[in-house]
Amino acid sequence: MTAPSVAPDAPGLGLYARLLAVPAIWGGTFIAGRIVATALPPATASVLRYLVASAALLAFVLIGRQRLPRLTLPQAGATLLLGATGVFAYNLFFMGALAELTASRTSLIIALNPIVTISVAALVFGDRLTPRRWLGVFIALFGVWIVVARGEVLSSVTTAVGRGELLMFGGVCAWVTYTLLGRRVLTGLSAFAATTYAALWGTLLLALGAVPELRRVELAALDPAVIGSLVYLGVVGTAIAFVWYYEAVRVLGTSIPIMFTNLVPVFGAAFGVILLGEPLLGSMLLGGAIAITGVMMVTRN
């Protein structure tokens, strides 16, 4: 989701180290998400994540590092839309997919985010895409299809795509909607304010969605691994990583930081194999490499 802005800093090794840490942190969210999603229902897992994230974001306000302006009515509606798409819908799809798929496989599918966002922006808003970028779009889509189809690219959609893949594609659509809404409907709000208000709205919606699941939740499921994963998702994966990312955006512009985000599926797949012992298929290596190549062609100026 859109994230906090911080005061500019001069470029240095520390800035680049933090920027490199961001995709590693986000790659780790697939591992933490997998642990949580296999223990808790999707809405419950999501609302617990964002309760932690909202508390972490509000902590920035309390310690005086950031401030939250009073919202106008249009801004309240805009941030509600952002919370409904980028927090509520995306996290339900994300947790639902991780309950069905391995973390490494899910992280490679999420590589579609920048591709679909840029393509929809070109079609809807008239953003210009060069032939090289359109080629990158199709290369990335082909790479992700290899991952999804487990190398059986000629197999039918019904045999190649399962419920988990469909949920993750739903997550991609929710994220793209969130991104494009943020581009058009928000005025006069900092990235931090937009992030925090969207998180608060999304947490409220997730809490309402979690009510029907309460009977299925057992306190025994909240073991140290699940609690630690929720803290990681909320504090590290949301608040800290977004602060570091937008620190880099303010100092370096958007081109360099967005290139670093291409490493997210790489870290996600690697962590899934190393930490969770997930199988590393040849189709994942090949498709992931092709997808990342396509993403780099699209996001590179």
* Phi, psi at 128, each rounded to 5°: -85, 130
Rounded Cα distance, 229 and 220, in Å: 15
- Per-residue pLDDT at 7 exceeds 50: no
Q: What is the pLDDT of residue 226?
A: 94
Instruction: Give the Cα separation of 135 and 11 in Å (integer).
Output: 33
Parse the chain into domains and list their residue ranges. Answer: 13-299
pTM for the complete prediction? 0.79
In this structure, how many other beta carbons lie within 10 angstroms of the beta carbon of residue 80?
19
pLDDT at 151: 57
262 alpha-carbon distance from chain centroid: 12
Check residue 84 and give its pLDDT: 96
Q: Is residue 296 over pLDDT 60?
A: yes
- pLDDT for 8 beyond 50: no
pLDDT in tens, 138-170: 887 788 777 766 655 555 444 556 788 889 889
- pLDDT tens for 224-239 read 999 999 999 999 998 8
Q: What is the pLDDT of residue 46?
A: 92
Token pair belonging to 94: 């994300």
Give the pLDDT confidence of 164-220 residue by residue, as tens digits: 888 988 998 998 888 888 776 667 787 788 888 999 999 999 999 898 888 877 887
CA atoms within 13 A on the CB side of 42: 20
What is the average per-residue pLDDT within 78-107? 89
- Summarised one tens digit per residue, pLDDT across range 98-111 is 888 888 778 878 77
